[in-house]
Structure 1
Amino acid sequence: MSGCGRSLVLAACAVLAASVPVPAFAEDEACATAGQDQRYLLVFPQGTAPDAANRQVTAACGATTVFYPQISVGVATAADPGFAGRFGADRVFAARPGHRSARAKLPESDPGDVSSADRTGEQWDMAAIGAPGAGSPDVVVGVLDSGIEADHPELSRAIDRDDSAGCLTGKPDQDENAWLPTTSAHGTHVAGIVAAADDGRGVTGVAPGVRVASVKVIDDSGYVAPEAAVCGLMWAAQRHMAVANSSFVVDPWGLACSHGPGQDVVREAISRAVEYSTTAGTLDVAAASNESVNLTPSSHASASGCEALPAGLRDVVTVSAVGQDDVKAGYSSYGLGVVDLAAPGGSGEDCVLSTVPGGYGRMCGTSMAAPHVAGVAAAVASEHPGLGPEGLRDALNAGTRAIPCPADYDPNGDGQQDGFCAGYTGYNGFYGHGLVDLPGALAAAG
Structure 2
Amino acid sequence: MPLLRRAPLAALGAALLVAACLGAPVAGADEQAPGGCVQPGPTLRYLVVFDKGTTEPDADAQIAAACGTATVYYAQIAVAVATSPDPGFGDKIGPDRAYSAQGETWTSNGRATRKKADETGAAASTSTESVPTTDRSGEQWDMRMIDAAQAHQITEGDPRVVVGVLDSGIDPRHPDLKPALDPQLSVGCLSGKPDPSVAAWAPTTSPHGTHVAGIIAAADDGKGVTGVAPGVRIASVKVVDDDGYIYPEYAVCGFMWAATHGFTVTNNSYYVDPWEYTCANQPGQRVVTEAMKRAVDYATAQGVLTVAAVTNSAADLTQPGTDTHSPDNAPNRTVRSVGSDCSVLPAQEHNVVAVSSVGARQVKASYSSYGLGAVDVTAPGGDSRQQPSNGDNACVLSTVPGGYGTFCGASMAAPHVTGVAALLASTHPGDTPAQLTKLLNQQAKPVQCPSDYDLNDTGVQDAYCSGYASYNGFYGHGMVNALAAVASGTAPQTPVADAPVSNGSTPTDSGSSATTSSRTKPQPVGPEQLAAGQ
* TM over 0.5, shorter chain: yes
User: Hey, what's the Cα distance between the residues in 1 that align with 2:314 and 2:471?
Assistant: 19
Contact 1:248 1:287 in 2 (8 A): yes
8 Å Cα contact 1:376-1:437 kept in structure 2: yes
Are 1:343 and 2:379 counterparts?
yes
Counterpart among 357, 364, 367 of residue 401 in structure 2 = 357
**Cα distance change on mapping 1:312 and 1:296 into 2, 3 Å:** farther
Moved more, 50-59 or 257-266: 257-266
How much has 1:43 moved relative to structure 2?
1.1
Q: Is the 8 A contact 2:101 2:273 kept in 1?
A: no
Alpha-carbon separation, structure 1, partners of 2:141 and 2:65: 58
Q: 1:31, 1:231 → 2: CA distance?
A: 28
Report the count of equivalent residues: 415
Contact 1:399 1:444 in 2 (8 A): no
Which position in structure 1 is the counterpart of 2:84? 78
C-alpha distance in 1 between matches for 2:279 and 2:80: 27
2:140 corresponding residue in structure 1: 123
What's the offset of the Cα at 1:34?
Answer: 4.1
Match of 1:304 among 332, 335, 349: 335
Answer yes or no: is 1:207 the counterpart of 2:229. yes
Partner of 2:388: none
Say yes or no: does 1:324 pair with 2:378: no
- Report the RMSD for the aligned CA atoms in angstroms: 2.3
Superposed CA deviations along residues 296-330 of structure 1, whole A, max 9, x for unmatched, are: 49xxx995326210001120001000011111001
Does 1:48 find its partner at 2:54? yes
Alignment partners' CA distance in 1, 2:468 and 2:232 = 35
Offset, 1:445: 6.3
Structure 2 contact 279–289 (Cα < 8 Å) conserved: no
Q: 1:218-233 to 2 correspondence within 5 Å?
A: 218-233=240-255
Residue 40 of structure 1: SS of its match in structure 2? strand
- The two structures have a TM-score, normalised by structure 2, of 0.74
Q: Sequence identity of aligned pairs in percent? A: 55
Contact 1:168 1:217 survives alignment (8 Å) = yes
The reply to whether residue 246 of structure 1 matches residue 236 of structure 2 is no
Residues 1:51 and 1:445: Cα distance change in structure 2 (over 3 Å): farther
Structure 2 equivalent of residue 13 of structure 1: none
Matched, 1:183 2:219: no
Q: Is 1:285 matched up with 2:307?
A: yes
Q: Structure 2: any 5+ residue segments left out of the alignment? A: 1-32, 118-122, 324-332, 337-341, 385-392, 491-534
* Amino acid of the structure 2 residue aligned with 1:117: T
How far 1:142 sits from its partner (Å)?
A: 0.1
CA separation of 1:198 and 1:107: change in aligned 2, threshold 3 A: closer
Equivalent residues of 2:471, 2:477 under 8 A apart: yes
Who is 2:530 aligned against?
A: none
Report whether the alignment pairs 1:389 with 2:396. no
Contact 1:242 1:388 in 2 (8 A): no
* Larger fraction in helix: 1
Q: Answer 1 or 2: higher relative contact order, Cα 8 Å, separation at least 6.
A: 2
Cα 1:401/1:107, change in 2 over 3 Å: closer
Cα deviations by residue, 1:55-96 (Å, 9 ceiling, x for unpaired): 111110101011111111111001111101101111111132
Contact 1:296–1:307 (CA<8 Å) still a contact in 2?
no
Q: Is the 8 A contact 2:115 2:245 kept in 1?
A: no
SS at match of 1:61: coil
Give ranges in structure 1 of 5+ residues lacking alignment.
1-26
Equivalent residue letter for 1:279: A
CA distance in 1, matches of 2:43, 2:279: 30
The question of whether the paired residues in 2 share the 8 Å contact of 1:401 and 1:436 is answered with yes
Contact 2:148 2:228 (C-alpha < 8 Å) held by counterparts: yes
Say whether the 8 Å CA contact 1:102–1:220 is kept in structure 2.
no
Name the SS for the 2:379 alignment partner.
strand
SS at match of 2:210: helix
How far did residue 251 of structure 1 move?
A: 3.1
**Paired residues of 1:399 and 1:436 also in contact (CA < 8 A):** yes
1:288 is displaced (CA, Å) by: 0.6
Give me the whole-angstrom Cα distance separating, in 1, the residues matched to 2:290 and 2:172.
Answer: 34
Match of 1:90, SS state, is coil
CA contact (8 A) 2:314 2:370 kept: yes
C-alpha contact (below 8 Å) 1:168/1:218 kept by paired residues = yes
